[in-house]
Amino acid sequence: MKVLLRHTARLLLILMIGGFLAATLVRYAPGFDVDEQQMDSRLSNESVQAMRTAKAGEHNILRFYTDFVRSAFHGEFGMSRTLNRPVKELVGERLPVTMKLIGTGLLVGWLLALIFAVSATMLRLAAYDVFTTFLSGLLLCIPSAVLALVFVFANAPGSIALGLMVFAHVFRYWRNLLEKSYAMPHIITARAKGLSSARILIFHILPVSGGQLLAVAGVSVSLALGAAIPVEALCGIPGIGQLAWQAALGRDLSLLLTLTFLVTVVTLLANTVSEVVGSSFRAQEA
């Protein structure tokens, strides 16, 4: 209970400071006051002035942020300036799409990484090791946006592109962890006694390295969230990533801030869950 409370307090504190940092970064960006709508020659001076006055509330960063947090506690996240719709409504529509994309991507990535890591550790074939290392290394060297484009032209689902990105980042850590576990004295003894590979993996390897495997998996959630931006923007998937991209192009501060908040919450939750589960694994091990 104490651990849970500590984690929650830490999460809230990081969230508050992080949100403030994000708002400050945006507020003091060089083009904060520039709005392409104001360049519309059809608008009268009065209309331009009215638009500037409407934006004036965002100038005082502390006031803007306090107002934002206060309304956020009441479930209100303001209006999107570019899409002219409540942010809450936009996020509500798009969050499930992103969650589905990230969920599928993570599942594909973790599954691929686990299959390749386990097979590479068990087979101990130099050629297979070179192949898997080359594959994950190559995927690490391709920008995620390019990978997304390839999937667009191949008419393949974007979640697979996301899965490949996750696989590339997770595979090497998992393989190294499993290799370390396989070299442990009790595993060598088990193998010498003729225990089946599956039994060794399930009953002797995973309980030992499960915590660390989960920690890496937790980190890959934030990676998938970042990769969702190019994947959704380029694959035309109407999720949070695409919304963030549209908001960025339209200089939509309230929308951007809400999205940053949301993604920070998901990242923190993922990290906290993997940390808690990892520590319980370690406690069991001890």
Partner 1 sequence: MKLVRIFACVLLLVVVAGSLAAHWIAPANYATQFRDELPNAGPSKAHWLGTDDLGRDRYSRVLYGTRVSLLLAPAAALLSTFLAALIGALAGYLGGAWEKFAMASTDLFLSLPWLFLLLMVRAMLPLNVSPFTSVMVTFLLLGLLGWSASARVLCAGAKNIRNSDFVMLARASGVGKIRLMFLHVLPNLKPVLLAQFWISIPVFILSEANLGILGLGVAEPLPSWGSLLRELENFANFSGEYWKLVPLGLLVLTVTSFQLVLSREGEVAA
Give me the residues that bind partner 1 (CB under 8 A), please.
10, 14, 17-18, 21-22, 25-26, 29-32, 34, 36, 39, 137-138, 140-146, 149, 153, 222, 225-226, 229-230, 233-234, 244-245, 247-249, 251, 256, 259-260, 263-264, 267-268, 271
Instruction: Decide whether 220 or 267 has the Cβ nearer to partner 1.
Output: 267
Instruction: Decide whether 4 or 25 has the Cβ nearer to partner 1.
Output: 25
Task: Decide: helix, strand or coil at residue 257.
Answer: helix
Instruction: Decide whether 112 or 165 has the Cβ nearer to partner 1.
Output: 165
- Strand partners of residue 79: 86
| Token pair listed for 173 | 């850590």
DSSP string, 20-44: HHHHHHHHTSTTTT--GGGG-TTS-
Instruction: Decide whether 61 or 206 has the Cβ nearer to partner 1.
Output: 61
Least Å distance between CB 195 and partner 1? 32
Least Å distance between CB 197 and partner 1? 28
Least Å distance between CB 77 and partner 1? 16
Please enumerate in sequence order all residues whose Cβ is within 8 A of that of 134, keeping only pairs 6 or more positions apart, or say none. none
| Token pair listed for 82 | 């570019």
DSSP state of 144: H
> Can you list the pairs that 154-157 forms with residues at least 24 positions away whose Cβ atoms lie under 8 Å?
157/104
Least Å distance between CB 209 and partner 1? 19
Least Å distance between CB 61 and partner 1? 13
Q: What angle is formed at CA 66 by the lines to CA 64 and CA 67, rounded to 5 degrees?
A: 65
Instruction: Decide whether 77 or 200 has the Cβ nearer to partner 1.
Output: 77
- Round to whole Å and give the CA distance between 143 and 221: 18
